[in-house]
Amino acid sequence: MPPALADRIALVTGASRGIGYATAVALAKAGAHIVAVARTVGGLEELDDAIKALGGSATLVPLDLKDYEGIDRLALALHERFGRLDVLVGNAGIQHRRPLVDFATADWQRVLDTNLTACFVLARTAARPMIAQRAGRIILTASMMGPAIARPTVSAYIAAKGGLVALTKALAVELGPHGICCNAIAPGYFATEMNAALLADAEFTAFVGKRTPLGRWGRNEEIGGVAVFLASAASSYVNGHALFVDGGLTAAM
């Protein structure tokens, strides 16, 4: 039985660390060739080593996702090299924590540009080859923050991630007729670098343990299997869904 993603080309953004890194490793383990995107190639070398150690392969692409023309150029280069694109994981994202009244417009714009607009541009770019091949998977890393819950000081992140779930639905209905499934992964609290400040806060960490039925933070590798599912034939009738990976947090009162 060939691996679930044998011969597939999967583009993963924000692949140098955290959820993106774990997703890229999981998709590589499932047989995909990974096109790993991060701001610098240096940040991708550890991932490249990890994928090679699995017997997999990766193409490392340094790209600032605010370079929207650069995203279009990347798609052309991928098409010339591989002739296809099977999976897009729009994962890259940033966080900015400030009370609303102190939240600068420039910081709001930066979070929205990186977390939401870049995913729109990536999806529009990936849709072209996927429409041509009448198959594809678009997976956006959203969050429980936005579609389900909110908390103070992260207004831009919440708005962007809520927008990602709405964008996922828009993509699902527009690309579904072309055989393309578009879904979101909505993580709960994961022990990522983005959350280092929260993990260092004993009170907040205790709060997450109490608020989450599984009693702990998520581990980055616990996202990988979900991404493989949404990227593979196993999810061939899942479209427009936001899959919460939160230990039950949003199920609890």
User: Can you give the binding site for ligand GCO, defined by CB under 6 A?
Assistant: 95, 97, 143-145, 151, 154, 157, 187-189, 194-195, 198
The catalytic residue positions are 157
List the one residue out of 163, 157, 213 whose CA is nearest residue 184: 163
Residue 24 or 198 with smaller CB distance to ligand GCO: 198
Q: Which sign, positive or negative, has the C-alpha torsion 156, 13, 129, 234?
A: negative
| Residue whose CB is less far from ligand GCO, 56 or 146 | 146
Q: What are phi and psi of 166, to 5 degrees?
A: -65, -40
Please give the Cα distance from 36 to 74 (Å, whole number). Answer: 11
Residue nearer to ligand GCO on the CB measure, 70 or 209: 209
Residue nearest to ligand GCO (CB): 143
Comparison of 118 and 144: residue with beta carbon closer to ligand GCO: 144
Closest contact distance (angstroms) between CB of 35 and ligand GCO is: 24
CB of 15 closer than 8 Å to CB of 90: no
Q: How far is the CB of 122 from ligand GCO (least distance, A)?
A: 19
Q: What are the start-end ranges of the H helices in the chain?
A: 18-29, 45-53, 68-82, 105-112, 118-133, 155-175, 196-199, 202-211, 221-231
Q: Which residue matches tokens 């993509």?
A: 171
Q: How far is the CB of 70 from ligand GCO (least distance, A)?
A: 26
- Least gap, CB of 207 to ligand GCO (angstroms): 11
